[in-house]
Amino acid sequence: MSVKNAPKPGLSVFQMAVITTISVASMFCLPAMATQGLASAVMYLMPAFLFFVPVALVSAELGAAYPGGIYVWVREAFGSRMGFLAVWLQWIQNVVWYPIQLAFVAASAAFAIGKGDLSNSGLYTGLVIIAVYWLATLLTLRGGNAFAKIGSVGGVAGALVPAALLIALGAAWLLSGKPVSPALSQSSWLPEVSGLSSLVLLVSNVFAFSGMEMNAVHVGDMKERRGYNKALLLAFVFILGIFVLPTLSIAAAVPAEKLGMDNGILVAFQTFFDTWRVGWLSNLVALAIAFGAMAAAVTWLAGPSKGLLAAAKTGLLPLRFQKQNKHGVQSGILIPQGIIVTILALIYIVLPGVSDVFLSLIDMAAALYVIMYILMFAAAIVLRKKEKGVQQGYKVPALKLVAGVGIVTCAVALVMSFIPLGSERAIPKAIYPALVAAVVVVLGAPPLLFYALRKPKWDTRQGEE
């Protein structure tokens, strides 16, 4: 084949769809939703339309018009300071999220080696988080499209295949006449809002759909930029497929009291396979899920930190944070990021109750993330009003309505993130809202401080940059 006719290197529609899917659809949220039985389907669809669809549509328009991600989008609407705040919130939210995702890796690895009880050990969980995170960092530092290759393979092996397997196992369970768990048999299609904690669960499911905008920074790496919209549509189908039917399968076979947040998905597979006397398959599936969860971590390492580097080079971070290795990877950000993740991982060792820590970190991360989404939706409205929206290609129909729905949903979710979900033992309920507020202030204030202290020499852009 001649060079002229050679295919353009870059990400395909399918690769972008898969890495977007694993950036959004993590299987660790399934057990909590399975306790809601039939109502879980509605509880997925409500945030899908109130949050996921607005994020997908708005990020598709902004991503096509302004390649570069959240920093560029908010900067064009509100200036560099707010743009920097937005990309910082995206990045720091992920720093809090890494221990959550990697705790799932730890639980999966424990089941893979036949030591499921280890998933309840804070010491084991903390050590695995640290080890796996630094391994993912080393892979990211190698540069190239390694994240896409690992993400696409890991997404298929660790998310799409296990989800399809859960659907098949659930169908087989029902068709074979096995006893159906009360979580499903005694449930209704309508969510039962019996108290504040039930409402928090419903609203917190918004965060199961977060992350759709993250891979917009890789639009420029695609073979076709217009393929981004196709990738979003395909990812939407994949994500709902991973969430809804597998959750109902789990609810059919596993009693609600056996479903822990960090290991519930593995307990479900073990229940299915032990019933049919093929328990050894649980180890293989757990290994695949561990690989998929690690692939998601690699994917997230590449995205937000790359966006933060773009902002840093415009003079918003000191030179030490702008360092890149010989592969052009943002080592000046990834190394300090790893130190923060290591410190957060120690929480699992110091505080009792892995599931309690797990839930607490989710709320803290969520509070940071929704602020970024509010800025993103507002930026879309402002840019359209300034007639700086997409001139060619995709435009969101009824943008003000779509973005407005997203803003309201995020505002409600932000309030709910200050309310503890369930009966956390690790952190007393009386101080929980204050602790979340403190985390938001401490982790959200640095970009404003850096902006105020910025120096001309921090701007390292060259030429057309």
Q: Does some domain include residue 462?
A: no
What is the CATH classification number for the domain harbouring 220? 1.20.1740.10
> Looking at residue 391, what is its pLDDT?
54
> Looking at residue 347, what is its pLDDT?
79
Flag the least confident range among 33-47, 283-297, 415-429, 444-458. Answer: 415-429
For 318, other C-beta atoms within 10 Å of its C-beta total 15
- What angle in degrees, to the nearest 10, is found between the helix axes of 80-112 and 122-141? 120
Q: Rank 62-71, 212-221, 281-290, 388-397 by mean pLDDT and report only the highest.
A: 281-290
Q: If you average pLDDT over residues 196-223, what whole number do you get?
A: 67
> Looking at residue 159, what is its pLDDT?
74
Q: If you average pLDDT over residues 20-36, what whole number do you get?
A: 76
| pLDDT greater at residue 189 or residue 129 | 129
Instruction: List the domain range (segments joined by +) for residue 217.
Output: 13-455
Residue 389 is classified by DSSP as: S
Q: Is the pLDDT of residue 280 over 70?
A: yes
Distance CA 11, CA 157 (A): 19
| pLDDT greater at residue 152 or residue 280 | 280
Q: Is the pLDDT of residue 105 over 90?
A: no
Q: If you average pLDDT over residues 30-58, what whole number do you get?
A: 84
> Looking at residue 85, what is its pLDDT?
95
> Looking at residue 87, what is its pLDDT?
92
Identify the bridge partners of residue 355 per DSSP, sorted by sequence position.
none
Q: What percent of the chain has pLDDT over 90?
A: 18
Whether the model clears a pTM of 0.85, i.e. scores above it, the answer is no
The helix or strand, by DSSP H or E, that contains position 160, with its residue range, turns out to be none
436, 417 Cβ separation under 8 angstroms: yes
> Looking at residue 7, what is its pLDDT?
46
The helix or strand, by DSSP H or E, that contains position 186, with its residue range, turns out to be none
Q: If you average pLDDT over residues 74-87, what whole number do you get?
A: 94
Listed in sequence order, the residues at least 6 apart from 267 whose beta carbon sits closer than 8 Å to its beta carbon are 31, 116, 254, 258, 259, 260
Flag the least confident range among 199-213, 243-257, 261-275. Answer: 199-213
- What is the radius of gyration, based on Cα positions, of the chain? 22
Q: Does some domain include residue 357?
A: yes
Q: Is the pLDDT of residue 401 over 70?
A: yes
Q: Does some domain include residue 1?
A: no
Flag the least confident range among 20-34, 82-96, 336-350, 406-420. Answer: 20-34
What one-character-per-residue DSSP string does 402-427 give? HHHHHHHHHHHHHHHTTS--S--SSS
Encoding tokens for residue 393?
Answer: 């290609």
Q: Does some domain include residue 463?
A: no
pLDDT digit string, tens, across residues 404-413: 999 999 998 8
Mean per-residue pLDDT of the chain: 80
Identify the bridge partners of residue 314 per DSSP, sorted by sequence position.
459
Quickly state the pLDDT bin for 257 (edges 50, 70, 90). confident
Q: How far is CA 358 from CA 107, 131, 226, 416, in A?
A: 12, 18, 38, 17
371, 74 Cβ separation under 8 angstroms: no
Q: Does some domain include residue 365?
A: yes
Q: Does some domain include residue 348?
A: yes
Q: Is the pLDDT of residue 448 over 90?
A: yes
| pLDDT greater at residue 306 or residue 322 | 322
Tell which residue, 301, 355, 376, has the closest CA to residue 94.
301
> Looking at residue 408, what is its pLDDT?
93
Encoding tokens for residue 187?
Answer: 């449930």
| pLDDT greater at residue 460 or residue 7 | 460
Q: Does some domain include residue 260?
A: yes
Number of structural domains (the chain) is 1
Q: Does some domain include residue 4?
A: no
Give burial (CB, 10 Å; 0-12/13-18/19+) of 288.
buried
Encoding tokens for residue 135?
Answer: 């391994």
394, 60 Cβ separation under 8 angstroms: yes
Encoding tokens for residue 383?
Answer: 């840019």
> Looking at residue 368, what is its pLDDT?
85
- Residue the block writes with tokens 């920093």: 71
